[in-house]
Every structure is written in C-alpha cells, then in structure tokens.
Amino acid sequence: AQKITQTQPGMFVQEKEAVTLDCTYDTSDPSYGLFWYKQPSSGEMIFLIYQGSYDQQNATEGRYSLNFQKARKSANLVISASQLGDSAMYFCAMKAGKLIFGQGTELSVKP
C-alpha cells in the first residue's frame, strides 16, 4: 500500500529562520515522484518542489530544498530564511500512479 505521513500538524518559525517540515512515505514501486505543495488560506495548491526516486541529488528551488533520504523513505522540505508570506498549509505528496497526499503541516511564521 502507498502512504504519505506528515507527523507535524503545526509548526512555528521565527521570520528569517530556517524550518524543516517532515514527510515519510511508503511504496513498493521503484519509480515514484515526491512533491511539496503550499496551500494558503485562499485554498489553491501551489507547486513548490519535486524529487524523482532516481534523482541522485536533492532538489532545490530558490529558498526551498528537499532533503531526500531514500533508505529512510523520507522527503523533508527545508525552507530557508522564512518570510511572513510562507505562513500556510504544506502538503507532501507522492505520485506512483495517482497522486496521494499527506495530512499536511500548518506553518506559522512569527515576526
């Protein structure tokens, strides 16, 4: 069975600090993709970063980086230099066939 788990319902971070959002996954499919999406209070899903299961290097996109540890089946999102606008729900997702989502982490950035 395929599963995505986010164990942090809520996280707080001080503005300009870095924060790590945890994500673990389970799949028997050797080919899969891992995604992080941001969902602000307005409700839309904003794509942040992607990591393929065969990618050797960790993905980076601006202030976002994905700490991919294949043996541990983890794909944590690191946001550097947090900004007030980063306050939102963050969802980890896995695509092995269809796209399935974790429970989400609500990030609050404090000034």
Partner 1 sequence: EADIYQTPRYLVIGTGKKITLECSQTMGHDKMYWYQQDPGMELHLIHYSYGVNSTEKGDLSSESTVSRIRTEHFPLTLESARPSHTSQYLCASSEPGQGVYGYTFGSGTRLTVV
Helices (H) and strands (E) in the chain, counts: 0, 12
Nearest distance from C-beta of residue 16 to partner 1, angstroms: 26
- Written as six digits, the tokens of 45 are 């899903």
Of 81 and 102, which CB lies nearer to partner 1 in the complex structure? 102
| Pair of tokens at residue 16 | 């300009």
3-state secondary structure of 7: coil
Is 84:111 a contact under the CB 8 Å cutoff?
Answer: yes
Comparing CB distances to partner 1, the nearer of 84 and 99 is 99
Report the residue number, 35 or 82, with the smaller CB distance to partner 1: 35
Residues near partner 1, by CB under 8 A = 31-33, 35, 37, 42-45, 47, 50, 52, 89, 91, 93, 95, 98-104, 106
